[in-house]
Each structure stands twice: as C-alpha cells, then as structure tokens.
Chains A and B, each alone.
With several copies, the nearest count.
Chain A
Amino acid sequence: MTVNLTVKVAGIEMKNPLVTASGTYGFGQEYRDLYPPEVLGAVVTKTIRLRPHPGNPPPRVAEAPAGLINAIGIPSKGWDHYVREEVPRLRQLEVPIIQSIVGETLDEYVELTERLTELGFLAGIELNLSCPNLRAGGLSLGLDPDMVYELVRRVRAATDLPLLAKLTPNTADVVGLARSVQAGGADGIAMINTVRAMAIDLRTRRPVLGNISGGLSGPAIKPIALYQIWEVYEAVDIPIIGMGGATDYRDVLEFILAGARAVALGTVNFVDPSAAPRILRDLGRYLEENGIDDINDLVGAAHRT
C-alpha cells in the first residue's frame, strides 16, 4: 500500500505534514549534517525583524519539567544581513520555505512582507503575533482580536503569498484571535507559541533568565496545545499548523486528530536533532499498519465520533 502523506496547507503543497517550528531550526542550515531539510514538508525559519535587535541578555534558556523556557527575544541582524547571508542559502533548499516575521509596528510587518514577496522564493509568510513589545493600548497587540484583524488585513493587501498567522496561547480567547485572523485574510494558523513562564534559581535566589520571564515549550505544553487547536479547529475553516511539545509520531498524530493539517517540530529538535526523519518514518509505518491510506483523513478526526 502506498500511503499519502502529502498535505496542502494554506495553499502550500507539502510532501508530508512535518514542518519546523520557527526559532528552533535557524535558517535551515544547522541540522544539514544530520538530514537534508528536503525531507521536511516545509521549513519555517527563525522570525526576522526589519531592523537589527540584540535579543535578550543571557541566560536565555532554562530547563523545566518536561519543558524548556526560553527568553531569546528574537535577536535579528536586520534586513540587509538577511538578504546577504540567509537568502542565498535559503534559495538553495528544495523545500517550501515559510519566513516568519515580526514587526515593531504594523507598518514594519507590511514593509517586511512587501520586501519578502519581492524576493520571489518564499512559499509563504508566517506572522509572529506573539511579540510582547508591540502594544495596542495596554494590551500586547497579539492579544487584541481587533488589532490582529487589522494587522492581517493590511499584510494581506501587501502580498499574494500564503499567509500564516501564529497566535499567542497566552489568552483566554484564542478562538477570538483565530476568527480575527481568518476574517483578516490569513490562509492558515500556526499555533501554539510558547506559554509565559519563568524559572527561579534556588542557589542565587533570583530568576534564572536574564529577561526574568520567558516562554515554555516542549512536552509540558502539549496538552495545552491540543486543547487550543481543538477549539480553533471547531471555529475556523482555514488550516492549522499545530505545535507544542510533539516528540514522536504519536504526538504528531494527536495534533492531527485534534485538527492540525501539519505539525511543527520545535523543542524536540534540541532533544533529538534527528527527530524529523525518525518521526516521518514512524508516521509512515503507523499509517500503513493501520490501513490509513491518506493522512488527510485523520485531520480533525477526533471531532467526529
């Protein structure tokens, strides 16, 4: 039996549903010694900014029970460096590239989108809406459904590329955000980003991270991710790239059953840098052994009794 693993997410054809989670796979070069990025369904790169930014002071990472807390802070060497250093190597990759971006203002999101679209090689753009620095009133922009709608709408007008909106999970109303980005014209949703968290060092009696707080990722947040994906799947029609703690093919299938059309691997890349090909192999075997000839049949299947 040949199993169909190809999926179409936000208009992007992927040869399988495994993609990378932004910020855990650099710009596609770091894991090349272990496996070619071409085995993946798509590569989602580290979020870039228009202007250089140093990121947060170290320590930037801390370990947690079944999890990782990071406060990297989206360092960026800015647009010129991106075009000069990363783009030529990204162009070499024979896999859909989705570039993640963040702006300090709405205009920056639009500007970056226009420039990226002009480069001509991207399969899609992912809007990182979890930037805590971009505020609308008292609220961080990514938390405000109206602002998020406005942002997506404006970016949408600036590009024909598939647009993914990456939502923050640190809200009581992720469904509201999802509806907003769909209304704004997003072609898909990426979720979940990291959950606000912190670690304290008993020895120093101080926060571990230079930034005090950070974002929790890894297996610890998987149940939270599954819940939010489940809810969003029920509320919108655009496809979801699910993530949050997947470490094996079972996790990937759970995300798919909950409603994800593709699944991003994040923290697991640090734990087992060969995770992607391993999971892919196991996934194929599972489908075969269970007589499922199209992975698309499983998308959201847990909603149907």
Chain B
Amino acid sequence: MHQVMGQVVRNRELAAGLWHLIVEAPEIAARAEPGQFAMLRVASGLEPLLRRPLSFYRIARHYGWLEFVYKVVGRGTQILTTRAAGDRLDLLGPLGRGWDLLPGTRRIGIVGRGIGIAPLIGLAEAAVRRGIAVEAFLSAREPQALLGLDLLRELGCGLYLHTERGEYSGRCREVTEHLEEAFEEEKPDQLFVCGSRRLGQAVLDFSRRRGVRSQISLEERMACGLGACIGCVTEIRAEDGREYRRVCKEGPVFWVEEVAMLYDR
C-alpha cells in the first residue's frame, strides 16, 4: 500500500455521467491487481472529508497507469470530474483483496451490471493474458454504459449483453438464462460478479447448482479503506454462524457462498 500524489493523465466523460479517469501512479500500479481498489482524495480541503473508493478498471503497469471508471452520483464524484490532465491526485492503494483466478482455471464468466462492470474488465484482461477463455454477461441501462465492450471484443471474449434501452434491449432475458445458455454444455471453472445483489444471487444459485467456484465484489461505505476503522463490514457465513468481515480488507472480493446478504431474499 502506498499513498502517492498521482498525476492525472486523462479524465473524460464516456457516456452521460460515466467518466474514465487515468492516473499515473507507478508505485501503486506496480502492485495493483484486478479487483483491488484505491481510495481517492477528491478535495484538498475538508469538504468532502472522506476519500472515495474506486476499483481499478484497468492497470497499465508498463505505463505506471491506473484506470478508473466512475459514475457521478454525489458531491465527491462531481468534484472528481473537475480534475484535468496534469492535476495532482492523492491516491491510496492498492487496497483490499482482488479476484482469485484459481490454478487450472481455463474458462470463466464475468457477470456485471452498470458501474459494476468496471472491476471485471481488468480481470478479463488478466485472464485472457493467461490463456483463459472469458464469457462476459453484461447489462446496463443503455448501450453506452456497457463499459469496456470494445476491449472485451478485442480480447475475443464471448459477449452476452442486455440493456434496458437501445441496441440490446430486445431480448429481455434474465442473466440466469444467459448463463444457462452459455454454459449449457460445459460449466465454467469460475464466475465473477459485480453490480447488484440480484445478480449476485443469480450467480450464487447457478454456482451452487453447477458446482462453480464464484466470487463477488461488494461495496460498503468506507471511512479508512485500509482495515483500521472496522466501518465497512459485511456479514459472512462462517463455520460458527455469521460474522462481520471488512470489505476493504478481507474483501471487496468474497466467495459468493460466504456472503450472507445473498441468502436474504
């Protein structure tokens, strides 16, 4: 973990309210893994006070770059849009535990919705680099919000897309159907999901039925991001009942079958 003043390489709007931010921060990039995140300080003053957690979208290690995609939802992300190339940005990272590609894995599915697609893109890249086949199940409000689509195409991933409006809105099907269809003949070795509880539940169900080892990336309100405040807990099903674990430290990636909220229907 490092705290560095990175330099903004680029910060621009991809689609309405969706921004792509690239920051040069070689110390962090050198150690960052897909699924991990950074805490960004958006203001230099006291308002807003807390850092904002953003997952790594891509990690361009040879450039020393970290890429993020963020959705403007409140004050912090609003301020972030005002940062321009050349500006300094206080970053803390890499933080948390990233995705686990298990030894022997040959075929995976990534399941993402909306901004939840962001942390899956770096994973897809890493997987393809290791010769793992990737099927991507992505959904969003509108086609422009399907992050990293071109990249996934380039990488040769299988694509199963759904949007509420526009191009991919016709075949309005549940992700479960998509999963069944894609993996009818052969189950994937692992599934990776991020973006909504419903999606997580679908993946949990599928994974339990088919015996797939799957992971989910969770979000929780964070103060420190580095494990000190115990503020970001989620409930985990452990041997002896439920217990709280820190999303910033033991997560944000968890095994789906551990995550208590996926069982609360």
Contacts and interface: CB of A to CB of B under 8 A. Distances in A.
Interface of A: 23-26, 30-31, 33-34, 46, 54-55, 58-68, 70, 72, 75, 218-219, 247, 267, 269-274
Given A58-B221, A272-B41, A24 B46 contact: no
A66 B230 contact: no
Interface residues of B, number: 30
Contacts of A65: 46-47
Nearest to A34: B3
B233 A55 contact: yes
Interface in B64-98: 90, 92
Main SS of chain B's interface residues?
Answer: loop
A74 to B, nearest CB: 9
Given A55-B244, A269-B224, A68 B49 contact: yes
Contact of A271 (B50, B230, B232): B50
Top 9 nearest A-B pairs (CB, nearest first) are A61-B231, A33-B1, A30-B228, A26-B228, A270-B224, A61-B223, A60-B231, A59-B221, A66-B46
Main SS of chain A's interface residues?
Answer: loop
A66 B46 CA distance: 6
Contacts of B220: 58-59
Interface of B: 1-3, 41, 46-51, 90, 92, 220-235, 243-244
B49 A67 contact: yes
B259 to A, nearest CB: 13
A270 B248 CA distance: 13
Contact of B226 (A64, A66, A219, A273): A273
A270 B47 contact: no
A31 B49 contact: no
Given A30-B226, A72-B230, A274 B46 contact: no
15 contacts: A23-B229, A24-B229, A25-B228, A30-B228, A33-B2, A55-B233, A60-B230, A61-B231, A66-B49, A70-B229, A72-B231, A75-B230, A219-B49, A270-B50, A272-B90
Contacts, number: 97
B91 to A, nearest CB: 11
B229 A271 contact: no
B224 A30 contact: yes
Nearest to A74: B230
Contact of A63 (B41, B49, B244): B49
A30 B92 CA distance: 13
B200 to A, nearest CB: 16
B152 to A, nearest CB: 32
A5 B234 CA distance: 40
B211 to A, nearest CB: 30
A68 B223 contact: yes
Nearest to B52: A63
A54 B221 contact: no
A58 B234 contact: yes
Contact of B228 (A31, A63, A66, A272): A31
Nearest to A274: B3
Contacts of B41: 271-272
A218 B45 CA distance: 13
Contacts of A55: 230, 233, 244
Contacts of B243: 54
A201 to B, nearest CB: 11
Nearest to A71: B231
